[in-house]
Chains A and B, each alone.
Chain A
Amino acid sequence: MTYTRTHVILFLGPLLLIVVLMYGMMAWTAAVAMDDWVGMAPVWKFAGWNNFHALLTGTLRQRFLTSLRNNLTWLGVFIVPTASLGLLLAYGLDLVGRAERVLRPLFLYPMALSFVVTGTVWAWMYDPDAGVFNDILRSIGLGRWAQPWIADPTLGTFCLIGAAVWQYTGFTMTLYLAAIRDIPREIFEAARVDGATDVNLFRYVVVPNVGHATMIVVAMLILVTLKVFDLVWVMTFGGPGNSTEVLSFFMFVATFRQQFVGIGAAISVVIMVLAIAVVVPYAWWSTRRLPT
């Protein structure tokens, strides 16, 4: 089939629009980050690196570092359980045979929920008085282990991460399931003939053969941790105090509630730089390890 000019306009047009819009907005944000814009209406007054400087020193420093630390906590605590639980579930589904048809959608449902729903439900579950977690602990006689959960400044972020793990496990499971199905069945059969158990299969067949899925899963989860916002907004509103704030939350509050638009844009730039700094080396490192 030959491509006509109409094809070119029809298909490249929207692509161009998306590219221009996205990169245009990125450039716009970078420009605002260098600008002393405070208030509702745009103020174009070049400020150089002042906004970034303000984040790193002075009054905003503590808040910026708290947000950054929380993002890094997300990065460190969220990805490994979500990816490994997903892989385990996927392997389990592969083993159970026909029941998979029923189970797979069940595990995927959380993914279909909006973060606002997840956040609200999990905030109820974490409720120190009436929440299901403390209820369970109390009913099995472990009441002394009951926690304030999201009402505790040090536990808060981990509680949020718990909700996110629940929501994203179905997603990683699906990706891993596809990867497992890609492994030639003969390998499994040969291994079984040689007497391999399910655990052996997992260890020596599945894990070494899902590297490409891991790469996608981890890269996507990294991006999730850097842009997480909704759960924080719904479950803790950044509190108690600022203890569960993340960069995107800080950015939203600074821009739209406090109208430090320049500062907000500077935080957005930091988020973008972080995303690039984490994802690009990771993608480079993992593609090199994959067999071509």
Chain B
Amino acid sequence: MTRHQIVIRWLAIALATTLGATTALYAAEQQQLVVYHWWTAGGERQAMQVIFDAFTKKNSTTKIVDNPVAGGGGITLKTVLLGLLAAKIPPDTFQSLSGAELKQYVDGNYVAPVDDVWTAQNLNANYPAVIGKMTTFSGKHYGIPMNAHRANWLFYNTKLFKDLKLAPPTTADELIAAAKRIKAEKPGVAPIAIGTREKWPAVFLFDVVLLSTGGPDVYEKFYTGQLDVATSPELRTALEKYKDLVPYLYEFHGAKTWSDIAGPMAEGKMGMMVIGDFAAGLLVQAGFKEGVDWDAVGFPQKPQEVFLMIVDTFVRPVGAKHPEATTAWLTNLTDPQVQGTFNIVKGSIAIHKAVPDSTYPDKLHRTASATFKSKRIVPSSIHGVLAPPAFLSDWQDILTRFLYSPDVKRALTEISDAMTLDKVTESGNWYWAK
């Protein structure tokens, strides 16, 4: 035998062993649960562990195969899933936002109904009705939600507001007036903290302005394509007020992310910030105290205060390899105990009515929980929950462009073009289905 032949023989043996071993490993697989999710950031990872622990306690023979994919709102996970699902190798469960985002998987026939779990856990009674609506398509439930984030918070610097004897604004007009005061009396302070490098915080700010000028009905209609963009006075007013805010924004917002500017807001370099409740966790971690350095109020308070909601769900993929594990996983998510513990760590609130408001250690989340139970819940447009994700992407671009050159007329044309292109009316019909 020549040396070449020996080398080749060994190569062949090595290859065969690898192949054989891989097959054997697959054959030996025990009961598993393959999970894909995007909770990878600091507190989120620990929050996920809470669910894992509770699940393992109840299903000790099932091994969790954890596949976290980083990227806020699941933008990277979605790309990964697109490949897995099209190749027909779905995980046993994966994370999705509810509403329009979830609808994409339903439309692709990638997820199966979860009505069995929904009924068994009596979620119609235990969850608010709007949650059911956000997961229902053609009469069937397709996702099991477990937490809600509130998007319409106005964070503000407590010392600054005390100094200027300012009351937290309750409407868009008051927001503009407060910004004006701050600018006049503290020229070194940027009245409104915003970071648009990731674009979407521009939508947070616009959403509260629209809620203030149009109220929740107009808001829901706008994002589901039921509003005549060209003629709607509420939308035009909202854009005009949004324009009025531009001179008071932190000057270099295009270079910063929301997490870059939350700290400066609490330090007093900036005044107010419209962002979701997840900012609270970041501020506390950075050592800023609620009620001392910063505070937050639901915004707007008029014409009516609403809970602008972002909901995470888990689904049952079609053709999942371990269906019992999937069912056990989804059932575990509806457990009030699990939801309570999870949400304390995650920085969102539980949606199960059995979880008391007093569960949460901070004022912000206790308030959120109480608002969730007493006020109207409106699905947020953020991350493609109400409007289709295609529109959200264009919408962020339109709004960030607007912040650089505020032209109401151009913006209205752009909105109406994007709504046609992204088929917002057509995709929004599910929301109005009886």
Q: Which residues of A contact B (CB under 8 A)?
A: 1, 6-7, 10, 39-42, 58-60, 123, 126-129, 148-153, 236-243, 253, 256-260
Output the least CB separation between A114 and chain B (Å).
15
Specify which of B79, B82, B255 is in contact with A151 (CB 8 Å cutoff). Answer: B255
- The listed residue with most B CB atoms (<10 A of its CB), out of A39, A59, A240, is A240
- The listed residue with most B CB atoms (<10 A of its CB), out of A42, A59, A150, is A59
Output the least CB separation between B103 and chain A (Å).
10
Contact string against A for B residues 59-75, beta-carbon threshold 8 Å, 1 for contact and 0 otherwise: 00000000000000001
Specify which of A59, A150, A153, A257 is in contact with B389 (CB 8 Å cutoff). Answer: A257
Output the least CB separation between B258 and chain A (Å).
13
- Which 4 A-B pairs give the minimum distances between C-beta atoms? A241-B401, A151-B254, A41-B108, A40-B108
Closest to A156 in B: B254
CA A261 – CA B11 in complex, angstroms?
41
Specify which of A1, A123, A257 is in contact with B255 (CB 8 Å cutoff). Answer: A123
Q: Assuming the A-B contacts A239-B197, A241-B401, are A42 and B79 also in contact, with contact meaning beta carbons closer than 8 angstroms in the complex?
A: no
When distances are taken between beta carbons in the complex, the residues of chain A under 8 Å from B5 are: 6
Is A237's CB under 8 angstroms from B108's CB?
A: no
Is B199's CB under 8 angstroms from A237's CB?
A: yes
Output the least CB separation between A215 and chain B (Å).
36
- With an 8 A cutoff between CB atoms, is B408 at the interface? no
Is B255's CB under 8 angstroms from A128's CB?
A: yes
When distances are taken between beta carbons in the complex, the residues of chain B under 8 Å from A7 are: 4
- With an 8 A cutoff between CB atoms, is B288 at the interface? no
CA A242 – CA B11 in complex, angstroms?
51
Contact string against A for B residues 408-420, beta-carbon threshold 8 Å, 1 for contact and 0 otherwise: 0000000001101
Specify which of B79, B86, B389 is in contact with A41 (CB 8 Å cutoff). Answer: B86
When distances are taken between beta carbons in the complex, the residues of chain B under 8 Å from A256 are: 75, 78-79, 82
| Chain B interface SS verdict (over half) | helix
Is B109's CB under 8 angstroms from A41's CB?
A: yes
CA A39 – CA B108 in complex, angstroms?
7
Closest to B85 in A: A40
When distances are taken between beta carbons in the complex, the residues of chain A under 8 Å from B75 are: 256-257
Chain B, interface residues (CB within 8 Å), range: 35 or more
- With an 8 A cutoff between CB atoms, is B393 at the interface? yes
Output the least CB separation between A121 and chain B (Å).
14
Output the least CB separation between A5 and chain B (Å).
11
- With an 8 A cutoff between CB atoms, is B278 at the interface? no
Q: Assuming the A-B contacts A237-B197, A260-B390, are A151 and B252 also in contact, with contact meaning beta carbons closer than 8 angstroms in the complex?
A: yes
When distances are taken between beta carbons in the complex, the residues of chain B under 8 Å from A128 are: 251-252, 255
CA A178 – CA B417 in complex, angstroms?
54
Is B253's CB under 8 angstroms from A237's CB?
A: no
- The listed residue with most B CB atoms (<10 A of its CB), out of A60, A241, A257, is A241
CA A123 – CA B109 in complex, angstroms?
41
Is A258's CB under 8 angstroms from B198's CB?
A: no
Q: Assuming the A-B contacts A40-B108, A40-B110, A60-B421, are A149 and B82 also in contact, with contact meaning beta carbons closer than 8 angstroms in the complex?
A: no
Q: Assuming the A-B contacts A10-B8, A242-B401, are A39 and B420 also in contact, with contact meaning beta carbons closer than 8 angstroms in the complex?
A: no
Is A59's CB under 8 angstroms from B252's CB?
A: no
30 interchain pairs (CB within 8 A)? A7-B4, A10-B8, A39-B107, A39-B108, A40-B104, A40-B108, A41-B85, A41-B108, A41-B109, A42-B86, A58-B421, A59-B420, A59-B421, A60-B421, A126-B255, A148-B254, A149-B255, A150-B197, A151-B197, A151-B254, A237-B198, A240-B400, A240-B403, A242-B397, A242-B401, A243-B401, A253-B393, A256-B75, A256-B78, A257-B75
When distances are taken between beta carbons in the complex, the residues of chain A under 8 Å from B10 are: none
- With an 8 A cutoff between CB atoms, is B343 at the interface? no
- With an 8 A cutoff between CB atoms, is B206 at the interface? no
Closest to A128 in B: B252
- With an 8 A cutoff between CB atoms, is B196 at the interface? yes
When distances are taken between beta carbons in the complex, the residues of chain A under 8 Å from B108 are: 39-41
CA A32 – CA B199 in complex, angstroms?
29
CA A253 – CA B393 in complex, angstroms?
8
When distances are taken between beta carbons in the complex, the residues of chain A under 8 Å from B397 are: 238-239, 241-242
Is A240's CB under 8 angstroms from B196's CB?
A: yes
Output the least CB separation between B302 and chain A (Å).
31
Is B196's CB under 8 angstroms from A239's CB?
A: yes
Is B255's CB under 8 angstroms from A150's CB?
A: yes
Output the least CB separation between B220 and chain A (Å).
22
When distances are taken between beta carbons in the complex, the residues of chain A under 8 Å from B198 are: 237
Is B254's CB under 8 angstroms from A240's CB?
A: yes
Is A41's CB under 8 angstroms from B107's CB?
A: yes
When distances are taken between beta carbons in the complex, the residues of chain A under 8 Å from B82 are: 40, 256
Output the least CB separation between B43 and chain A (Å).
22
Q: A239-B196, A242-B397 are in contact. List 10 more A-B contacts (CB 8 A).
A: A10-B8, A40-B108, A126-B255, A151-B197, A151-B255, A236-B197, A236-B254, A239-B400, A240-B403, A241-B400
Is B107's CB under 8 angstroms from A40's CB?
A: yes
- With an 8 A cutoff between CB atoms, is B161 at the interface? no
Closest to B76 in A: A256
- With an 8 A cutoff between CB atoms, is B52 at the interface? no
Q: Assuming the A-B contacts A151-B252, A237-B197, A259-B390, are A41 and B110 also in contact, with contact meaning beta carbons closer than 8 angstroms in the complex?
A: yes
